[in-house]
Structure 1
């Protein structure tokens, strides 16, 4: 069964861009149409850096990790010369995943199906019975190249063999993270939290890009951080958007809380929350050194999957981590209700567009312009 590919003609893109300037959203059909999801994977996910895990898991020769980037399998491995290689985890024989394990250490990458064996550099070293094949093109059947880079303890992959550097996409995030009082090289990985959402992935990211809803929907978050419009900072950059939330000032004569998470007990004075386009979240909560990082990826037009890896400073106590996670999980549960409500409303077909608040939701407006540019068929 064939499907018409999603396309945005230049004149249509220009019209949508004008609408965005006036506060009209992208067409809401883009949040339910399977063809749009396919186009997003082809035009956006295939050419952007994705956080996949820990650099420590590929520190030694032969160590590897596997991941899926919006359903496309990838493997990252440390080569014998110390370089970091990434490949599409797809055997050149008949398309099986070469490596099934999530991580480990190997001398070669051998496919579990027919034992085609690839070197750590991706070249095909051998295929059973290939010598009986006349003119077997072994040199042409290496694994398709992808890319991998690191930032501190964090490992990223890109499905493109020659993408722009990771530093371009991250832009100011490393400097702003350090400026928040977090030295990423001193962080220790603790755990991963995975979650599923019954909403389009863009709905989840756009919810993350504004705190207009915080006073109403996140009372606990707004109790710790000052979410008032005059205090809560919104910054849009070409490849990302970020928010800076100062601690809420205590009323005169009110003693600070001494139990549970307060955010007032460490070297991190503010909350900083980064959305690196298209889909990566980097969260720093106030208090002791902490950072969570992870993507949200499409699982179809109405469903998405995400995970966050949580890192903490070496001296952060388990009690502090537990208290902060109560705070963090509360916000996450509240957001789940919000984004799934939005998807239900969009799916109803009652509206063709929404209306953005151009001051309080300016990061969404910028993000939607970025998406429009990526989906515009001028480069497709």
Structure 2
């Protein structure tokens, strides 16, 4: 398999919401606390909606609330199933300060654990790879089976009332869904299908070979932007023509629709061949599918057979988001056209979006920004309408109720 890897570590006025102008200008004093409450009907009517106030994107207090209300109680997509397909395969991911290890046991069962030793808190594994039959803590050499059971703790036989059953790895809920791996830090959470009803069937319809996909390239960025800023950018194609000329050259914007399905949405449209981006023969399947999954994952099925791209967001703090932009193909040996397409994503398309969200994050803190922006949702729900942002902000508002 040819794997390309790149690491780049490089901020509304509504009738029923008022805000502190100092907060909107980004110069709130440390002893002042903004009112992080939004009305229940916030953005309920997309055609009259304004965005979430800027400080929801910049203040750590808002992010701390989201950590508990959103990220520890939602299914988050971690990776494609192919990354841990064989026994002893493992990967690690970090989100909201929690490091998670996902490992396939010798029994072929996929499990997730907090990547921390129960003895003194040392991290157990890093990166990804092939685990041995036991995981050994680098600090005091406690060992754990791949199902999380304690295998051995040095000198435990001489410790009074040492309880091996209370020294296991702490599990994290995991489900494999639509070819991908999801985790939830809430042990009592509903299923992925209950959170995202109907999504799996649509993904299978858009990409029948989703289980056969293999990672071909990954672009990792530590993006100086709030996670909602990144989702906002994904939820509209109003910016496509001015900001993505290569992509816009392929998409038929008059045949482009964005439909809402509760906790997920689907952008669907038709494409035309372009030398600037997607090359395919006239008459071939030419549809785009773009899935947004609450809270912050995006699946993209371009107008090419056996291909998919995924944006994984792993929020770090109010103004930092770790992102993996993964490109998948069903074939292991890449064609020259596929290699060229990867380079287009790496050098053109991906940097275009990164520049946008980084600039917005700075602008949201400017004294020249009025605190909220008008959502450009038109009556027709056209390809350039921003009604998707209104839908997303309505869901976010439910997290910030009194």
TM-score, structure 2 normalization = 0.81
The secondary structure found in structure 2 opposite 1:14 is: coil
Q: 1:258 to 1:372 in 2, by over 3 A?
A: closer
| Shift, 1:366, TM fit | 0.8
Per-residue CA deviations over 1:209-264 (Å, capped at 9, x if unaligned) read 10011122222211111124xx210011111112112125xxxxxxx767973344
> Which stretch shifts more, 183-192 or 16-25?
16-25
Structure 1 gaps of 5+ residues are 249-255
1:363 and 2:363 aligned: no
Structure 1 pair 120–184 and aligned structure 2 pair: CA distance change class (3 A) = same
Q: Does 1:323 align with 2:340?
A: yes
Cα displacement string for residues 162-212 of structure 1 (whole angstroms, at most 9, x for unaligned residues): 432223344334332333354213323212121232221111110011001
Equivalent position of 2:176 in the other structure: 150
Q: Which residue of 2 aligns with 1:115?
A: 141
Q: Is the 8 A contact 2:82 2:214 kept in 1?
A: no
Residue number in structure 2 paired with 1:233: 257
Q: Which residue of 1 aligns with 2:96?
A: 70
What is the CA–CA distance in structure 1 between the aligned matches of 2:189 and 2:31, rounded to whole Å? 29
Distance 2:149 2:33 in 1: 34
| Number of the residue aligned with 1:343 | 361
What is the DSSP-based 3-state SS (H/G/I as helix, E as strand, rest coil) of the residue aligned with 1:134?
coil
TM-score by length of 1: 0.85
In the TM superposition, what are the counterparts of 1:1-380 in structure 2 within 5 Å?
A: 8=36, 12-14=38-40, 16=42, 22-151=48-177, 153-180=179-206, 182-228=208-254, 231-248=255-272, 261-264=278-281, 268-314=285-331, 317-329=334-346, 330-349=348-367, 350-359=369-378, 360-376=385-401
Q: SS of the counterpart of 1:356?
A: coil
**SS at 1:227's partner residue?**
strand
Contact 2:246 2:276 (C-alpha < 8 Å) held by counterparts: no
Cα distance in 1 between the residues matched to 2:51 and 2:193: 30
What secondary structure does 1:13 align onto?
A: coil
Range with bigger deviation, 73-82 or 201-210: 73-82
Q: How many residues align?
A: 365
Please say if residues 266 and 287 of structure 1, whose CA atoms lie closer than 8 Å, have aligned partners that are also in contact: no
Contact 2:75-2:192 at 8 Å conserved across structures: yes
- How big is the shift at 1:303? 2.3
Q: Greater RCO between the two (CA within 8 Å, min separation 6)?
A: 2
Q: CA deviation at 1:25?
A: 1.5
Which residue is equivalent to 1:253? Answer: none
Q: More deviation in 47-56 or 140-149?
A: 47-56
Give yes or no for contact 2:81–2:211 (8 Å, CA) kept in 1. Answer: no
Match of 2:13 in 1: none
Native 8 Å contact 2:96 2:316 kept in 1: yes
Distance 2:31 2:314 in 1: 22
Deviation at 1:324, TM superposition (A): 2.6
Contact 1:146–1:162, Cα closer than 8 Å, also in 2: no
Compared with structure 1, are the counterparts of its residues 174 and 321 closer, same or farther at alpha carbon in structure 2 (3 Å cutoff)?
farther
SS of the equivalent of 1:203 reads helix
Are 1:74 and 1:159, in contact at CA under 8 Å, matched by a contact in 2?
no
For 1:125 and 1:46, how far apart are their aligned partners in 2? 29
The Cα offsets for residues 343-380 of structure 1, whole Å up to 9 and x where unpaired, read as 11101143222211233111111111111223435xxx
Q: Which runs of 5+ in 2 are unaligned?
A: 1-29, 379-384
RMSD between aligned residues: 2.9
**Bigger mean CA offset, 86-95 vs 133-142:** 133-142
Q: CA deviation at 1:332?
A: 1.9
C-alpha offsets along residues 43-68 of structure 1, whole Å, 9 cap, x if unaligned? 21112223323423433333322221
Which structure shows the higher helix fraction? 1
Distance 2:82 2:165 in 1: 32
By how many angstroms is 1:76 displaced? Answer: 1.7
Residues in 2 aligned to 1:62 and 1:212: alpha-carbon distance in whole angstroms: 45
